[in-house]
Structure 1
Amino acid sequence: MLAIEKQPIPHYMAAPQTEAELDYADLAIIDLANAKKPHERMELAARARDAMIKTGFFYVIGHGYTQEQADRMVDIADVPFAQVSDDEKRVYAGTMKQTGSYQGYKLRNYWHIDGGVRDQLENYNINRDVTKKTHPAALRPLLPEIYEFARFNHFHVLHEVFRLLALGLELPQDTFVNLHGYDAVGESYVRFMKYYPRSDEEEVKSKNVWLKGHTDFGTITILWSQPVAALQIFSSDGTWKWVKHIPNALVINAGDALSFLTAGIFPATIHRVVQPPPDQRQYTRLGAFYFSMTDDNVRLAPLTNSPLVARRLAELSAEKRAEIEKAPTMEEWRKGRTAAYGQTELRKSDAGSNVEEEIISGVVVKHYN
């Protein structure tokens, strides 16, 4: 990592970890420091594969980023929210519905949640090529650090996770890596996201849901664990489980694109954000993410050179295989999902009263409330 002169910025005071007794998900912990020797790497690959199949979520530790570096990035993450005026935020607002791109701000009240309640969260999205768009004045001196953060996520975390998952599927270890060129045309990006407390009235109307159950549309999402408990995953027993904070750990989950590429062996994981427990409700919830997508021109068809994927396809009906073969490109999928999210009218699903649907690029997309 390059030596960078750090600009002085305010320190973000994060919430203390909750003392509430919550029903936490049992997630595997993948220690990348234990992936040096060939036999250790194969054992870790099997664990990562099984965790992705079982829950679609796991933690990563031993990634090489220090707690001090992670704390600094949290401070940077707050700058586009706390150090930029509302007027300037509007100047840099994204045009998601028109362009299918998340670059820039997603301002508050853009998404409809439920019961007439709109979201109370802001996010700021920066393409891995930080020069692709201009940024608010307060953020410009910090772009060298954000650039290095994006590269760290891409090369030291994402690629390492992809190599393990490829080995777990009996594929050449760089199979997924080669679909995610850092300099290729695509939309992998850093996201800073800040949730703000809501009124009691809004909590009642939205049933305490801050972001309804959904899947991410990329391949892998990297969340830098933060202390406010609010993230939940939908488990195989039909209940929502909380994701526990582990300092300086990363929370990894699979998205739609990875599910397409593996014929559903690695299913896109359903997750949501809800009101935090009482001892954290007065705090904002600030997070740093890296959302990965394949190169835009990659067709999201199953990787049949994996024996596991080939067997999965053979088990499907001819009708289902024909549907899978109509896979969209990454560009088509990300633009469709980005433009539609929180903006389209959803219809009730036959899957249950709490499931809503929309159709994007010929694929049924479910939302869980």
Structure 2
Amino acid sequence: MTFHVPTVDIAPYVADGAAADREEVARQIDEACRAVGFIQVIGHGIPDTVIDGLTDALDRFFALDLDTKKGYRTPPQVNRGYSPPKSESLSLSLGVESATRMNDFFEAFNVGASSAAYPHVTDLPQPDYAENVWPAVEGFEPQVQGYFAEAARVARTMTRIFADALGLDDDFFPSRTDHSLDVMRMNNYALPPGTEVSLDGDLIGMSEHTDFGIVTVLWADQVRGLQVLGSDGSWNDVHPADGALLINLGDITAHLTNERWMSTLHRVKPPVIDGTIERRRSVAFFHDGNVDTVITTLPSCVDEHHPALFEPVTIAEHIAAKLRGSRAGIRNDAAGREAQRVLDSGRY
């Protein structure tokens, strides 16, 4: 069977369209989440000017020299600021040892929703809701914040569609995301000239992983690199269509649906052409949910033929275990199901 990422126009939800049109969108999303776990969405409503501002901001930041960028690093437990090349290994978030630890070839800059974003909630735990680190790059903060707000809107639109597709009450996701742990990661897969990074045989852009939370909204260049694991165990190239965003499900949604909807494994292979790395950029907005929410499988997704696959877990516990793997190099041994899929793919 040919691997295919479906394209869905979500405009009926963005523009409050007719009930029948929204029902059709929810049906298409349910079908895509069952079959692939990745979706191309159009009709998302993010203006081109906002995306242009985002790409301008990340281009100017990543053009800085490496020492300057390293000045914006934070400790591994604080999911903010700059991550240099080869400082992470996403496969460890699944408990899978890569051939060379902490060898993922990408640099990134993270921002997220701080406690100030949720004034209606007191005593939010730190560093989950840490303040952002903003580089001294003119216009960077407003340009990035502008896109962050739009991506957050799209993520919440998707959870509204998810609720309809799963037959849930309208307040199901809002009650679990009113102080959501939202993080946006800007990734760069090519470095300025003169940066010393060896193109060794073990190099990988971003190693095999599943996303951690509810849903991810991904903007990316139309440059090859992103690969998604198909149901047959094959790795398949994926890049966004013109004007589209890529949507994929995270582990929390897989837990909720008892893997009726899959948190799909994906990776990024270095875009190497003629011995040099072709520039590739992506921006992933992770909508992860409230840290104090306990995730339990939906009763509608459990029956005698589909027993519950997961124990209840708080979002905080789940995210912390994944981050200890990817950012601190501490293998996550609680992700056995996802790890087995990586091993079955033949990568290790």
- How does the TM-score come out when normalised to structure 1? 0.76
Partners of 1:134 and 1:203 in 2: CA distance: 32
- Can you list the C-alpha shifts for 1:207-244, whole angstroms capped at 9, x where unaligned? xx422221111111111131111001110122111103
**Residue 100 of structure 2: aligned partner:** 116
Aligned in 2, Cα 1:90/1:254: closer, same or farther, shift over 3 Å? same
Matched, 1:168 2:165: yes
> 2:223 touches 2:239 (CA, 8 Å); kept in 1?
no
Give the 3-state SS of the residue equivalent to 2:333 in structure 1: strand
Partner of 2:148: 150
When structure 1 is superposed on structure 2, of 293-302 and 73-82 the one drifting more is: 73-82
Matched, 1:47 2:28: yes
1-structure distance, mates of 2:337, 2:72: 32
Once the two structures are overlaid, the 10-residue window that deviates more, 274-283 or 51-60, is 274-283
CA distance in 1 between partners of 2:72 and 2:265 (Å): 30
What is the rounded CA distance, in whole Å, between the counterparts of 2:56 and 2:303 in structure 1? 46
Matched-pair contact (CA < 8 Å) for 1:189–1:290 = yes
- Counterpart CA distance in 2 for 1:277 and 1:106 is 21
Deviation (angstroms), 1:363: 5.7
Q: CA deviation at 1:48?
A: 0.3
When residues 226 and 178 of structure 1 are mapped into structure 2, their CA distance, relative to the original with a 3 A threshold, is farther
Partner of 1:18: none
Correspondence 1:218-233 to 2 at 5 A = 218-233=213-228
Note closer, same or farther for the CA distance 1:203–1:134 as it changes in structure 2 (3 Å cut).
closer
Where do 1:197-236 residues align within 5 Å? Answer: 202-206=199-203, 209-236=204-231
Task: Show the counterpart of 2:50.
Answer: 69
- The answer as to whether partners of 2:205 and 2:269 remain within 8 angstroms in 1 is yes
How far residue 67 of structure 1 moved from its aligned partner, in angstroms, is 2.8
**Which position in structure 1 is the counterpart of 2:81?**
104
CA distance in 2 between counterparts of 1:80 and 1:293 reads 26
* Structure 1: distance between partners of 2:281 and 2:220: 10
Q: Give the drift of 1:151.
A: 1.6
CA distance in 2, matches of 1:46, 1:289: 25
Mapped partners of 2:216, 2:224: distance in 1: 18
The one-character-per-residue Cα deviations of 1:275-319 (angstroms, maximum 9, x if unpaired) are: 337489542211122111011101111233xx3x2xx344344xx
Matched residue, 2:305: 315
Q: Sort the Cα spacing of 1:104 and 1:314 in 2 relative to 1 into closer, same or farther, 3 A.
A: farther
- The 3-state SS of whatever aligns with 1:87 is helix
CA distance in 2, matches of 1:67, 1:252: 18
Residues in 2 aligned to 1:248 and 1:281: alpha-carbon distance in whole angstroms: 28
Residue aligning to 1:340 = 325
2:333 aligned residue:
359
- What is the SS of the residue equivalent to 1:216? coil
Give the number of aligned pairs: 314
State the identity %.
23
Secondary structure in 2 matching 1:51: helix
Aligned Cα RMSD in Å?
A: 2.9
Q: Is this contact kept in 1: 2:254–2:261, CA < 8 A?
A: yes
Describe the SS at the equivalent of 1:138: coil
Distance change >3 Å, CA 345–CA 148, structure 1 → 2: closer
Q: Distance in 2 between matches of 1:68 and 1:158?
A: 19
Query: What are the Cα deviations for residues 148-178 of structure 1, in whole angstroms up to 9, with x where unaligned?
Result: 32221112x1111111111111112342233
Contact 1:33 1:62 in 2 (8 A): yes
Matched to 1:151, the amino acid is A
Shift of 1:124: 0.5
Q: Structure 2, unaligned stretches of length 5 or more?
A: 92-97, 117-130
1:138 match: 137
Change (3 A) 1:138 1:201: closer
Distance 1:154 1:345, change over 3 A: closer
Secondary structure at the aligned position of 1:359 is classed as coil
> In 2, are the aligned partners of 1:225 and 1:247 still within 8 Å (CA)?
no
The one-letter amino acid of 2:297's match is P
1:190 aligns to 2:181 (yes or no): no
Residues 98-133 of structure 1: CA deviation (Å, up to 9, x unaligned): x2x421111112125844372321110001349723
1:88 matched to 2:73: no
How far apart are the structure 2 equivalents of 1:333 and 1:237? 27
Per-residue deviation, 1:270: 0.6
Report SS of the residue matched to 1:205: coil
Whether the aligned pair in 2 keeps the contact of 1:210 and 1:274 (CA below 8 Å) is: yes
Q: Which amino acid is 1:190 matched to?
A: M
Contact 1:25 1:244 in 2 (8 A): no
Match of 2:18 among 34, 37, 40: 37
* In structure 2, distance between residues paired with 1:297 and 1:116: 34
Aligned partner of 1:60 in structure 2 is 41
Deviation, structure 1 residue 33: 1.6
Q: Distance in 1 between matches of 2:197 and 2:289?
A: 41
- Residues 200, 72 of structure 1: alpha-carbon distance in 2 compared, 3 angstrom cutoff: closer
Q: Is the 8 A contact 2:220 2:281 kept in 1?
A: no
Q: Is the 8 A contact 1:234 1:271 kept in 2?
A: yes
**Structure 2 CA distance for partners of 1:136 and 1:158, relative to 1, 3 Å:** same
Given the superposition, is the C-alpha separation of residues 280 and 328 from structure 1 closer, same or farther in structure 2, using an over 3 Å criterion? farther
**Counterpart contact for 2:50–2:146, Cα < 8 Å:** no
How far has the Cα of 1:199 moved from its partner? 9.6
